[in-house]
Amino acid sequence: MAIHLYDKFNYRRLIRFVIPSIVMMVFSSIYGVVDGLFVSNFVGKTAFASVNLIMPFLMVITTVGFMIGTGGSALVAKIYGEGDTERARRIFSFLIYTTLVTGGLLSVLGFIFIRPISVLLGAEGEMVDICVRYGRIILISLTAWMLQNVFQSFCVTAEKPGFGLVIMVAAGLTNIFLDFLFVDVFKWGIIGAAAATAASQAVGGIVPFCYFAFPNSSILRLTRCDVDLKALGKSLTNGSSELMTNLSMSIVNILYNYKLMNMYGEDGVAAYGVIMYVAFIFISIFIGYSIGSAPIVSYNYGAKSIEELKNVHKKGIVLICVGAVSLTLVAVILSPVLSGVFVGYDRGLYELTKKAFALYSISFLFAGFNIYASSFFTALGNGFVSAAISFLRTLLFQVAAIFAVPAIIGDDGIWLAIVVAELFSIAVSIFFLAKNKKKYGY
């Protein structure tokens, strides 16, 4: 039976509705992990370290997609909740067309400046050429990558989370198969890995675009529209927390790589790369829940269904807390296995990665609550509070912790910096949730 945004949600119905978004995000992270596995095991740790140096830059320029998707879907869901379906479709269409134009411009600029940016990020010698080759191929599919990020949110708003899951699975399987074909069979090295990723992004972005371009069974479709700068501004402002999150993560990753190059050399960057790949699988569960539940929050806020808003929020807190404890235990227990899969071929790098990941995993106890809190305020249309939580959590607290924690407890502090940052962020999230409780009625 189909589940609609206007339904009354118990735990079972809520979990059924968000499961496709969770699986979609997990699968997305897994096919990213597979990409890293092929590069590390078949191309080598220098190529693996190079990919992890240039990836933060590539993530930075795709943040516009996350911003438009999360901020725009909240706006569209709210307008749909108010009963104006046609206006919701026009705004949806304008945001998709804006993504197309923006993606093209960013692709051209990135293609031109990729080499000096690689050097600026710390690449040296052979690593520079690897960064450039990998980055330019990914930039060819940048627009599709941005569309994929946008449609992750809009598929849920369109009451088609299952369709979004199917698209992500198709994109992931494309990447995995082509990684095997291009890297293992054809021996194309880093070019093969980049081509496989680019092809998968094309699937993830172009297929849903074609679906919404024609009449379909969802509440959304691409139509003629006017230039609605007010709606664009609202979407960008409301989605600024996602921009801040992804931008800050990229900046912090760059800072981590710089510090780790000085502390451990190439092995430090490789170890951190493994952690980022694997950690995103765990974090993606929280992100998936937040993406999946956000349109429900936006709809009920727009429809002024305060009791249902309160109900969904309360159940969300419970589910996030249960997930946080469970995932932390799993991550710590599996840290030797997960590290060995990536870098078992190098004993020293394996030992460093295993220890680092076990320490880093403690942060999962707190990260889910902070991710949910930021997304919750985005869904309510409060971009300022959402962005404030994201800015403090992903940038200010982490940057301070990267310098302060190792200075206090030694080298292991670099891996515990994220734990300290998430702890401080919990206090901020609780403060904003308590402060705005009466305003929104949750």
Block means of pLDDT (10 residues each) for the chain, length 442 residues?
81 92 83 78 84 84 86 90 93 97 96 94 88 96 94 90 89 92 93 95 96 93 92 86 73 82 80 86 92 90 92 95 95 90 82 92 95 93 88 90 91 92 96 94 88
The answer to whether residues 389 and 373 touch, using CB atoms and an 8 Å cutoff, is yes
Read off the pTM: 0.75
The Cα 82–Cα 85 span in angstroms is 8
pLDDT reported for residue 1: 59
Query: Which backbone phi and psi does 436 adopt, to 5 degrees?
Result: -100, 10
Q: How many CB atoms lie within 10 A of CB 226?
A: 10
Question: For residue 351, what are the contacts with CB-CB under 8 A and spacing of at least 6?
Answer: none
pLDDT reported for residue 265: 78
End-to-end CA distance of the chain: 28
pLDDT reported for residue 172: 87
Task: Round the CA-based radius of gyration of the chain to a whole number and report it.
Answer: 21
